[in-house]
Amino acid sequence: MAYRTEDMFSFSAFDPAKFTEGFRDLAEKGASQTHEAYIKMKAAAEEATKTAESTMQSAQAGSMELGIQTIEALRTTADMSLLHMEALMGVKSVSELVELQTSFLRRQAEMTVAQAKAIQESALKLADTVAKPGKDAVEKAMGNVKAS
pLDDT tens digits for range 104-125: 999 999 999 999 999 999 999 9
The pLDDT of residue 28 is 84
Q: How confident is the model at residue 15 (pLDDT cuts 50, 70, 90)?
A: low
Kindly list the distances between the CA atom of residue 20 and the CA atoms of 15, 23, 27, in Å, as whole numbers in the listed order: 9, 5, 10
Higher pLDDT, 71 or 7: 71
Please state the φ and ψ torsions of residue 43, each to the nearest 5 degrees.
-65, -40
Statement: residue 98 has pLDDT above 90? yes
Ranges of each domain in the chain: 54-147
Cut 0.85: pTM above it: no
Residues 26-53 pLDDT 10s: 888 888 888 888 888 888 788 888 888 8
- Asked whether the CA dihedral 106, 109, 112, 114 is positive or negative, the reply is negative
Contact 119, 40 (CB under 8 A): no
* pLDDT value, residue 91: 92
